[in-house]
Amino acid sequence: MTVLVPEQIPHLGDSLLQQLSQVARRWAPLEELQDTAIAEVQLVRADAPTSFHCAVYEPCLCFVIQGSKTVLLGDKEIVYTGPSYMGSAVHLPMVGRIDHATPETPYLAVKVSVEPQEVAGLILEVGDKAPHAGGNAICPEMDCGLKSAPMDARMQGALYRLLSLLDSPEDIKVLSPLARRELIYRALMGGMGPHMRRFTASDSQANRIARVIYALKEHYAQPLKISELAATANMSESTLYHSFRQVTRMSPLQYQKKLRLLEARRLMLAEGLEAATASYRVGYESPSHFSREYSRMFGAPPRADVSQLKGIAMASATA
């Protein structure tokens, strides 16, 4: 297990952290993932610890203001605590659990979506000023798709400037792109810089695996053909397997399976599909095989799991 402990934040950072907590609590009154008036920004709040929850993390920066969370990425267990932030360079199926949260001191986090083109553009502007070297605390042996770093006072200030725009909706259209750009710049110039460079450089091994991940995400319902994925990455099949596992902590087949099961769950919840219909939609040929793998991943058969999730949603809506 990797435990990430933030560096000591100066007094100015402590003041900013209090302001960040206040604005996040104001705009995240509910215990759930909440959209905001800034399209690329979502807020997360929890007043109590949670059980593990499966989701696909898109390329983003996730800022933990207070509280702590455990994330399982394949065979890796990562614990990160506020004030810190995490960067996901590619779409990663992960399991997360909030560990420390109370009504008085809730878990507060901010998710900011990031497009690879934005990072690439900033790297071109910054040039060699951005750091090139540095280990990855989570996966030091290679380019793992997940990276975490302490949220220092400058990053806290950039995040506060972005969130405070929620109090001035008339400024969002003009100023939110600038505030997001500053946030990405701070990540690029800080501990996240080498990680962001590796996954953006067109000739890097990490970027080639990112292209494979994109192809898998777009065509998850189709039969998996390792030879085609290897051609996409311009790698041998054995190198693809090894590199893919280092980035995602799972094999291409395991990655596809998680994508399929998560999408099937969404289809049953959001569109009301029956389990068999959802299984065919996401690429399974056998509903019974689908049900077995679904139960293994989510801890219950499809019908029971969806019924429980709907019950939780109804209870939250009437609370």
For 157-184, what is each residue's pLDDT tens digit?
999 999 999 999 999 999 999 999 999 9
Residue 296 falls within a domain, yes or no? Answer: yes
Nearest to 149 by CA among 183, 173, 116: 183
Average pLDDT, the chain: 88
Give residue-wise pLDDT tens across range 68-78. Answer: 999 998 888 88
pLDDT of residue 1: 45
Please give the tally of structural domains in the chain. Answer: 3
Residue 269 falls within a domain, yes or no? Answer: yes
Residues 96 and 174 in one domain: yes
Residue 125 falls within a domain, yes or no? Answer: yes
Residues 19 and 52 in one domain: yes
Residues 227 and 184 in one domain: no
Phi first, then psi: what are they for 284, rounded to 5°?
-80, 145
Residue 138 falls within a domain, yes or no? Answer: yes
Q: Region 47-52: what's the mean pLDDT? A: 93
Q: What percent of the chain has pLDDT over 90?
A: 69
Residues 228 and 273 in one domain: no
pLDDT of residue 225: 94
pLDDT of residue 74: 83
pLDDT of residue 248: 93
Q: Region 26-46: what's the mean pLDDT? A: 93
Nearest to 38 by CA among 151, 187, 161, 123: 161
Nearest to 260 by CA among 281, 234, 289, 240: 281
Residues 103 and 241 in one domain: no
Range of the domain at 233: 205-250
pLDDT of residue 314: 63
Between 128 and 318, the more confident residue is 128
Residue 313 falls within a domain, yes or no? Answer: yes
Give residue-wise pLDDT tens across range 244-284. Answer: 999 999 999 999 999 999 999 999 999 999 999 999 999 99
Q: Is the pLDDT of residue 313 over 70?
A: no
Give residue-wise pLDDT tens across range 211-249. Answer: 999 999 999 999 999 999 999 999 999 999 999 999 999
Q: Which residue has the tokens 């042996």?
A: 141
Residues 192 and 87 in one domain: yes
Residue 258 falls within a domain, yes or no? Answer: no
Residues 235 and 188 in one domain: no
Q: Is the pLDDT of residue 83 over 70?
A: yes
Give residue-wise pLDDT tens across range 103-158. Answer: 999 999 999 999 988 998 998 898 777 666 544 444 443 467 888 899 999 999 99
Q: Is the pLDDT of residue 299 over 80?
A: yes
Residue 259 falls within a domain, yes or no? Answer: no
CA angle 44, 45, 50 (to 5 degrees): 105
Nearest to 85 by CA among 146, 8, 41, 22: 146
Residue 260 falls within a domain, yes or no? Answer: no
CA torsion sign for 26, 32, 38, 40 is: positive
Residues 22 and 101 in one domain: yes
Distance (Å, rounded) from C-alpha 235 to C-alpha 124?
27
Residues 195 and 222 in one domain: no
Residues 227 and 91 in one domain: no
Q: Is the pLDDT of residue 205 over 90?
A: no
pTM, rounded to two decimals: 0.84
Residues 83 and 18 in one domain: yes
Secondary structure string (H, E, C) spanning the chain: CEEECCCCCCHHHHHHHHHHHHHHHHHCCCCCEEECCCCCEEEEEECCCCCCEEEEECCEEEEEEECEEEEEECCEEEEEECCEEEEECCCEEEEEEEEECCCCCCEEEEEEECCHHHHHHHHHHHHHHCCCCCCCCCCCCCCCCEEEEECCHHHHHHHHHHHHHHHCHHHHHHHHHHHHHHHHHHHHHCCCHHHHHHHHCCCCHHHHHHHHHHHHHHCCCCCCCHHHHHHHHCCCHHHHHHHHHHHHCCCHHHHHHHHHHHHHHHHHHHCCCCHHHHHHHCCCCCHHHHHHHHHHHHCCCHHHHHHHHHHHHHHHHHC
Chain centroid to Cα 105, Å, comes to 23
Q: Is the pLDDT of residue 318 over 80?
A: no
Q: What is the CATH number of the domain that holds 35?
A: 2.60.120.10
Residues 8 and 89 in one domain: yes
Give me the sheet containing 92-100, strands edge to edge: 2-4, 76-81, 68-73, 92-100, 53-57
